Structure 1
């Protein structure tokens, strides 16, 4: 059995929430988790759309993490 230790260079994660506070909390939690992997935020993109099924806004974000 062979063990290979390779470093993660890039990581892209997707988030969604019903409100901006929850979305921000999810992103901040993941930023802290990714610090252990020595990854920093490279870019962040977000958008909001109206969900006609729930009659509420739906917030989403894409965060690209890159090695320090």
Structure 2
């Protein structure tokens, strides 16, 4: 049995919440988790849309992490 370690170079994660505080908390938590993998934030995109089913705004973000 062969055991190989490979480093993650790029990682893209998606987040969604109905308020900005929750979205920010999710992203901050994942930034801390990804520091253990030696990944840093490379780019962030965010969007806001109205969710007619919930009757409120929905906030989403895409965060691209890259190796340090």
The TM-score normalised by the length of structure 1 is: 0.98
User: Within 5 Å, which residues of 2 pair with 1:56-67?
Assistant: 56-67=56-67
- d(CA) in 2 for partners of 1:60 and 1:3? 38
Identify the residue that residue 52 of structure 1 maps to in structure 2. Answer: 52
- d(CA) in 1 for partners of 2:26 and 2:53? 23
Report deviation, 1:52.
0.6
- d(CA) in 2 for partners of 1:34 and 1:62? 15
Report deviation, 1:4.
1.1
Q: Aligned-pair RMSD on alpha carbons?
A: 0.5
Q: Does 1:41 pair with 2:19?
A: no
The TM-score normalised by the length of structure 2 is: 0.98
Aligned length: 68
Identify the residue that residue 10 of structure 1 maps to in structure 2. Answer: 10
Spell out, residue by residue over 1:24-48, the C-alpha distance to the aligned partner (whole angstroms, 9 max, x if none): 0000000000000000000000000
3-state DSSP of counterpart to 1:8: coil
3-state DSSP of counterpart to 1:44: strand
Question: Structure 1: which 5+ residue stretches go unaligned?
Answer: none
